[in-house]
Structure 1
């Protein structure tokens, strides 16, 4: 069953060089809500993409301080989830939902 909260849990897929290399190891990287727990992320991925999840690892990237025209600003913190899929499962993040 697809619940609307699943769409709030998974914010966006991460498409970087490092995330692309991880996809060869059956892993997919997502930006997720900062309050999302590992079981919530697992349930959301399984419901939205119809795949079996083996493991979920999370990390929080603290916001960096940047300068723009001499004025200091701070980027927001964000949370990423590295989702390991069961053998034979795959998600094509380029197509979207």
Structure 2
């Protein structure tokens, strides 16, 4: 069983996510690996008190990067699951 408070891990703040928030009323979150669309929708509605229209989920693959400080050694960024949530017209989430 997945608890609602353990589904949403953090809010994703990137240039693309910020633009989607301002233009399309979409919010991007890192979510637990075991979360599905229904669980994410229920968690958003319970935590922020808004109505969710659409939830899209994507698995972000790991990236391999060279570390310049350690003579070019390669390290791996971890993979995660991301949810893009579109709210109904007139609903907003205040991110502080």
What TM-score bracket applies, with the shorter chain setting the length?
Answer: 0.7 to 0.9
Q: What is residue 81 of structure 2 aligned with on the other side?
A: 79
TM-score by length of 1: 0.86
Measure how far apart 1:67 and its partner are: 2.6
Q: What is residue 18 of structure 1 aligned with on the other side?
A: 16
| 1:49 equivalent in alignment to 2:81 | no
Measure how far apart 1:54 and its partner are: 0.4
Q: What is residue 92 of structure 2 aligned with on the other side?
A: 90
Give SS of 2:3's match: helix
5+ residue gaps, structure 1? none
5+ residue gaps, structure 2? none
Query: How many residues are treated as equivalent by the alignment?
Result: 91
TM-score by length of 2: 0.86
Q: Which deviations, in whole Å up to 9, do the C-alpha atoms of 1:31-86 show, x marking residues without a partner?
A: 11111101000000000000000010011110111233233221110111100101
C-alpha RMSD of matched pairs (Å): 1.4
The structure with the largest alpha-carbon Rg is 2
| 1:9 equivalent in alignment to 2:10 | no
